[in-house]
């Protein structure tokens, strides 16, 4: 069962990787991990990347990602896009319209397909995609 207090964390790691030419190179990579705490996020990223670690490995940064949800309808895609979506809601006490925004992380092949995936996922006429951009995130590790 999924714990509702979990958040998404953006985690940057520095590690040794073998390049196509066989040489070792230190690289910086960014991932998203679902966890309840910073410590759990560090433990999970280390655990998830353990099979790929060859030598030095350091978690260099962990921050809370503001994503409300991950949209991964296209799990074969190798890119992730950050979409800022604006909603217009009615404030029941004042009767005024209120604009709120949420961030979504979308796994997709292209910017256009990411935008289409967000629209189909939300399926709501009261939403506007304010911005969408490609990220450097390589993978997302969600809890099952």
Give average pLDDT by consecutive 10-residue segment, the chain, 144 residues: 72 90 90 96 95 89 95 90 89 83 94 92 81 96 86
Q: Please give the tally of structural domains in the chain.
A: 2
Please state whether 140 falls in left (phi above 0), alpha (psi between -120 and 50) or beta. Answer: beta
Contacts of 11 (CB under 8 A, 6+ apart): 30, 31, 32, 33, 41, 42, 45, 59, 61, 62
What does the pLDDT read at residue 127? 78
Distance separating the N- and C-terminal Cα atoms of the chain: 8
Residues 99, 131 share a domain: yes
* pTM for the full predicted model: 0.85
List the CATH number of the domain containing 11: 3.10.20
**How many other CB atoms are found less than 10 A from the CB of residue 104?**
22
Write the CA distances from 27 to 9, 16, 43, 78, 106, integer angstroms. 20, 6, 20, 18, 24
CB 67 within 8 A of CB 116: no
Q: Quick one: 78 and 114 in the same domain?
A: yes
Residue range(s) defining the domain that contains residue 106:
67-136
């Amino acid at each position: 069962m999924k714990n509702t207090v979990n958040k998404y964390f953006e985690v940057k790691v520095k590690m040794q990787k073998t390049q196509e030419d066989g040489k070792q190179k230190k690289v910086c990579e960014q991932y998203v991990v679902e966890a309840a705490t910073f410590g759990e996020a560090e433990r999970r990223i280390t655990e998830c990347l353990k099979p790929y670690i060859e030598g030095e490995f350091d978690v260099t940064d962990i921050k809370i990602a503001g994503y409300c949800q991950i949209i991964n309808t296209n799990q074969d895609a190798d890119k992730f896009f950050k979409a800022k979506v604006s909603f217009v809601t009615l404030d029941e006490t004042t009767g005024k319209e209120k604009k709120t925004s949420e961030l979504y992380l979308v796994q997709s092949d292209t910017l256009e397909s990411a935008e289409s995936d967000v629209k189909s996922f939300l399926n709501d006429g009261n939403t506007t995609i304010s911005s969408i951009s490609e990220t450097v995130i390589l993978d997302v590790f969600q809890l099952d």
